[in-house]
Structure 1
């Protein structure tokens, strides 16, 4: 049984198919068709909804955190204990919500199919912004596609909605909503089942260890942004899932003197501040990771666990020397991340074992870290090549080098020959030319619809050259840093 708020109504669902997405639940079960299906893969944003969740601030006070999500990739079990808001819920009495009115005033809609998704992204932006910030507006809308209107009127609507924000019905009911969310907060392991399908929802990492040990065939579900594609794109059945999104220990970030400990179920949005503080390039790349809706759902552990050769986080973590903590029952073991990936979609994880946390070394004073993502679009796109370069510099010489790439092999991996060419070399163009040439010994990339093998190798070599230019002449602007 799961319990959640649909706007202000408490809903209790005892027998829903755990493979059911929030999008299909809204449209097929409730007849709420304002939320649209454009792609069923988290790319277009037409299905965007907003989910409110109780969080505790640094002052100890509880508040509701609103985040935009792709309902086409969110299984209904993820709603347990939360508030779901759809485009139908925004209008109050006979008045449009401010974000809806802004879209009307700024002529931000033509065919209208994508409009509900844009409206919900704007609603989440308004709830999380104190004023109009063009960069924040771009970030909020990067996961929403429009093929009619063009984006300028929609960005104008974002500015109007955030500049002239008025209290709405959600503000007026905040205290009552907090009480409702407290009343339905999960207090024990829950289960959603229908026929021979079920989803288990543990509250502690110990419960997860027990459940996964008893059900090693289960699929672990965190954000679901990759797993849900098996249902929506490949029409597969997932008989048993274990949802880890309620396990607080696995959503914690602890900043130590020498290490960042990041729970495997921590959404990428929450990882940003801790990682960007030590490694600005990591933060910059995270902002280009898919879309805000995906980052609000997808987790760092999930990006590692699905073992994709084109996942963006693993090359960066490998270059930084990160480790993962794997757990089975009461047993834990640490494993360097580079040793986790064995072959395409094959990992060192044993049966019944799961990733509990990721350990990322803190930045060193001598360390320079550069990360690059090359894709056809700046936002909401999959990498053709992802590169991460970590160098320790002393007196103009490279005393330590770790270089890792994604998109260049069946797994994200280090470039051993490239590292050897850099190790001990002077920080000069010739050193990076030798390292670029050595990449041909490290990788034999494949051609696919994203890039040819020749393009991938040349791009990887050019990223090394770019790294040198940024280190040698940091005042020279080499990246897109603003949108107008």
Structure 2
């Protein structure tokens, strides 16, 4: 393992595979500004700033160090809060927090500052304006229990307005960019002398490594797997990190199909879908936090087989196919509709790994909506998740999907309710009422700490009604904080409901 920690080149091959970046900073390096809070990636007190070379440029992201294996940071620039200030100079994120009284007890402050520093550095590099939405996104994974968010948001908004005097009174990471880039460039292409943590770059390398380490555990973002270590004290032996495999990290549009690699992160899919599929983009904004989305992968979310995962209902709505690779080199394709076999059970056999997901662009162009109901707007698990898709031909619903998460032991489709709406007039309210009555009988949701069975059942029906109303051109209020303008999708909803529905959910051009 080699990486740059602040301004020091680190080489260490003595650590267990599951040794977290948080423990490394605090226990091995004495950098205690990084705080240990929840140990599960929820509070953001342990936030790290991590830079990587991308096409010759240094780009920074935030990670939760408590659930990030330190060896996964090989070849990266790891920035702890101690590195931001320089002698008597503060970073703009620090100075803004001071001026706007953004800290009280201070425990959460280092994580918040690094989240704001990431926003500042990336906005400077891309010459983008920092607005309230970007500040709230940056700190969405940072919980503060005493200060309140108003002064923190004010601090984030003021960072780019600090006076630009000469010589600059502020410490910027950009001041050392060339030095850091040179150090990182020297690490590129080096053979890694791993003994318990491997990062293959190709599928062929993965197959070879797994053949030599049959009992090894595969890890991608680790945002769920690492909880086994931090919450249940499970010690892992050999870990094989699949997040860097070239074939698994691509998003490709070949004109008829969209293929998403299993190791594509939420943040990468979010960026890809921002202009192409805005409804998906805004749903992704509500999954976990920025720190989690920077590491969590689409394949990991699906393979984890959680009934409350947010990606599986979306893939069900789009009839996605899953490409699976066996460690013996063979491949097979499975429909998402056949993938889940029971609670935490899938069709994956020993030695198989998800490679990618494929969807037809024509299907993606159908009218679609995604709704997530949770107690918090950000960084929370769904009580109910609904993904819908409607195809309309000659004023009738010719195809549809109603896919739910949080309703059963697996993500499910409401096939009986779908059948009740199929071939009905797009604006047939009686057909909708019949479908909702069937839906109530079809769903048998559980009651737990997030919601009662009755709440889930009522919410499911209301969400289907909401999607049907939007299909028919009604403007429905949203509480997501990010209303989607249908004008931005390349079509206009009008009273001619059959025409508007045929125009689809989004352009894939």
Task: Name the TM-score class by shorter chain.
Answer: over 0.9
Equivalent position to 2:113, from 119, 126, 133:
119
Match status 1:397 vs 2:400 = no
- Residues in 1 aligned to 2:267 and 2:163: alpha-carbon distance in whole angstroms: 24
Q: 301, 325, 331: which is aligned to 2:323?
A: 325
The alignment yields a C-alpha RMSD, in angstroms, of 1.8
Q: Which runs of 5+ in 2 are unaligned?
A: 165-169, 484-509
In 1, the alpha carbon distance for the partners of 2:365 and 2:4 equals 50
| Alignment length (residue pairs) | 472
In 2, Cα distance between the equivalents of 1:145 and 1:234? 23
Measure, in 1, the Cα distance between the counterparts of 2:68 and 2:350: 26
For residues 22-55 of structure 1, the C-alpha deviation after alignment (integer angstroms, 9 at most, x for no partner) is: 0111111111100011111111111101100011
Q: Deviations over 1:439-483 (max 9, x none)?
A: 234321111111111111111111101111222234343343359
Shift of 1:168: 4.1
Q: CA deviation at 1:189?
A: 5.4
Distance 1:448 1:190 in 2: 47
When structure 1 is superposed on structure 2, of 130-139 and 159-168 the one drifting more is 159-168
How far apart are 1:304 and its partner, in Å? 0.6
Say yes or no: does 1:176 pair with 2:179: yes
Q: 1:169 deviation in Å?
A: 4.3
Query: Given that residues 318 and 363 in structure 2 are in contact (C-alpha distance below 8 angstroms), is that contact kept between their aligned partners in structure 1?
Result: no
Give the 3 Å change call, closer, same or farther, for CA 481–363 of structure 1 in structure 2.
farther
In the alignment, what sits opposite 2:446?
446
Instruction: Report the alpha carbon displacement of residue 213 of structure 1 after superposing the two structures with TM.
Output: 4.0
Distance 1:299 1:427, change over 3 A: same
Picking from 83, 86, 98, the partner of 2:80 is: 86
Contact 2:91 2:172 in 1 (8 A): no
- Mapping 1:186-225, distance limit 5 Å: 186-188=189-191, 190-192=193-195, 198-225=196-223
**Residues 17-166 of structure 1 aligned to structure 2 (within 5 Å):** 17-56=16-55, 62-129=56-123, 130-164=128-162
Gaps of 5+ in 1: 57-61, 193-197
Cα gap change, 1:361/1:202 in structure 2, threshold over 3 Å: closer, same or farther? Answer: same
Deviations 1:67-110 (A, max 9, x none): 01100110111111111001011001221111101100000000
CA distance in 1, matches of 2:411, 2:191: 38
Residues 258-280 of structure 1 deviation map (CA, whole Å, 9 limit, x = unaligned): 21111111111001133344432
Alpha-carbon separation, structure 2, partners of 1:162 and 1:431: 54
- 1:189-230 deviation per Cα after TM superposition (whole angstroms, max 9, x unaligned): 5524xxxxx222212111112323443432211111000100
| Residue pair 1:308, 1:411 contacting (<8 A) in 2 also | yes
* CA distance 1:365–1:411, change in 2 (3 Å): closer
CA contact (8 A) 2:47 2:114 kept: yes
With normalisation by structure 2, the TM-score equals 0.89
Question: Is it true that 1:477 corresponds to 2:477 in the alignment?
Answer: yes
Provide the residue aligned with 2:266 in structure 1. 268
Tell me: CA distance 1:339–1:214, structure 2 relative to 1, closer, same or farther (3 Å): farther
TM-score where L is the length of structure 1: 0.94
Name the SS for the 1:227 alignment partner: coil
Change (3 A) 1:399 1:346: same
